[in-house]
Structure 1
Amino acid sequence: MQAPTVPFACYTPFSIAHDLKKDADMLRKAMKGIGTDEKTLITILANRNWEERAGIIREYTTHVGRDLIKDIKSETSGNFEKGLVALLTDPAIFDVEALIKAMKGVGTNEAVLTEILVTRNNAQKARISQIYATQTGKSLKHAISSETSGDYKHLLEELLDPRDESWIVDPARAAVDAEALYHAGEGKIGTDEKTFIKILANRNFLQIREIARIYETIHKKHSLEKAIESEFSGDIRSALKSIVLFSQDSFAYFARVLHKSMAGVGTNDETLIRNVVYCQPFITAVSKAYHVVFGKTLQYDIEKDCSGDYKKLLIDIKQHSKGKNYRDLPVKAQKSLNYDISSSETSADYKNSLESLFESRVESWIVDQASAGVDTETLVQIR
């Protein structure tokens, strides 16, 4: 049976549920005259999804007759301004701007390249590449080839090409791939980097999850992540580990990125802003993963590392997440999605009960918002 082709813990469109003309008027009022009503800016922009914010920008231009982003920039400053502008920027354009900056001048910010190219789906990467070419006059692949080298360059070039997004898990093929990875790394002297790149850059994420499971089952010495740790170094190691970690739990992956941005002395505010804004549709799940992985809340670390209106904005984005997530399900439903469905409940009855409970089509709801922990059998069963 063909499983659905869907995004993987990435931005999914939402409907418009607010009066955007009224929002535009309120934003203008908040910035008109002496002083700025920062609370109104935060309340509106942090509590709207991208479709709504894009509509507010249009209403502000046509109804108010002004440029919203220009007004925001003139009335705010610092990281608070950057956070508001991030919310008002098309997600693909924001990614392009991050990529341009990551490759500008002396040196390259490989962490940004890895984060974006590993976590965006095929449609997102295609649009990013198109916008990049329009803005810079050269292809993203050419830019990456010029700014990176070796196996890391080859991996990023592969990641720019479409990945399998069938969401079908083939255990037999996964076993073959697990053996191939072992013999390309721990099972030989030296490392066959091409095999790792070919498999991890092209298989769908649920398939990679299965490959990693089989790898650890067959070869007790190491997990696939540990094998990569021992066989690789530098940027290629970080990127390959990111792929495996994202396949295991995409929400936990983003939790780790956010934690790293605030760890140690100082804060990487660009990474923090980019990922809080990007993760807004599923930030509740990311926050829960953050608490599980690090034993403290995302809000606690934001409050500790940030201040003023900037802090209030990030906290409001976290609190006003739109959409439902797998980890927001009641415990019983979570267990059911992991094969503990009672024999007394038919698949049809179970699906109908979930549709009633969450008031949405269960297929698109679970698939669009689920983490890598949801098995293909579940996806097929609810079809």
Structure 2
Amino acid sequence: MDGVAEQETGQQTGRGTGPVWRVPAVRALLAASLLGFTSYAVTLAALPSYAVRGGAGVAAAGLVTTVFLAATVLTQLAVPRLVGRVGLGPVLAGGLLAIGGPAPLYLLGDGVGWLCAVSAVRGTGFGVLTVLGATIAARVVPPSRRGESLGLYGLALGLPTLAATPGGVALVLSDRFPLVVAVATLPLLGLLAVPRLVRAVPRAVTAPSGDPAGPAVRAAAPPSAVLLVVTLAGAGVVTFLPIARPDGVVATVALLVFGATGALCRWAGGVLTDRYGTRVLLPAALLLGVLGLVLLAVGLDADAAVYAGAAVFGVAYGGSQNTTLVVAMARAGERGTTTASAVWNAAFDAGTGLGALAVGVVAAAVGLELSYAVLAGLLVLVLPVAVRVTRR
């Protein structure tokens, strides 16, 4: 790190010994990210429910989420070029405006077309936040604390999803959709944190540059491919576990366990990465993922197996997120941090988006139990890639 940013982060972390959360820029980032991801999470399931209550079919209502995530992925791929042209500050401010500003427009209609149009704009803002949030988390602390900072950032992203997603649906079902909209505008408050964040990140990241993105993309692609397979499997669990256990209670508790262990282990994985490196942690996370999926495959009818499988796979899901991001950034180099974050985030959302579709097709052909076994096999197939990328 250079200049003022290096001095500030070095002093605040005690040259690598103090808690990362005490760094002012980290706190500002966590606040802005919490606002942004709460806006995303509160509308994630609420908008389809709102569309259905307005007369849309279930399949049509799902387009709202699809459009949002499609806009997110396309924007993520463009963020490094935008930052290279105009700098980090304007792009980050634009992202916060894009996800929070249009939210009140949802109140103008409940048609699927209108909801999709507004969601497409908001999806661009979410794409910006996901890429630049990880970039900032990595660059406002010394490299020796990068894993912990990214893990803390990941924990801040996971918590709103646990509360805001079901909360948004509950508000819609109780005819309080305007409150959903109000919460969705919260990222506008994050604009107050932008100046501090820009000052804390090295000039090489915040300023426009003409650096080619190709080398960083190629460096970040292999660990991001590992992540894509993990998130594909995660989407299969989240989407189809409630279908496999329609009694409701078991699936709900299992998904809460999955979400909680995933969020906590993304943070814990960051701390362990700083201490022990990724060479052992990433392959171990994948092996745990295999175990969790096997438990689900052989025990979908047994409550204990479902709970255990969800918990073990949650550990793998959270741990592999942080370790693949650390590896991607390390391989891309300091000036390739933003590009690595873009590739990683695009892989995350692409895997999540493809997972439900792909697992659904396989499940229709061979059943859900074998589908989870197939997902376990995919994790085994990418294990050599995980081993190779952590040794470079």
More helix by share: 2
Is the pair's TM-score, using the shorter chain for normalization, greater than 0.5? no
The one of the two structures with greater contact order (alpha-carbon pairs below 8 A, sep at least 6) is 2
**What range is the shorter-chain TM-score in?**
under 0.3
State the TM-score, normalizing by the size of structure 1: 0.28
State the TM-score, normalizing by the size of structure 2: 0.27
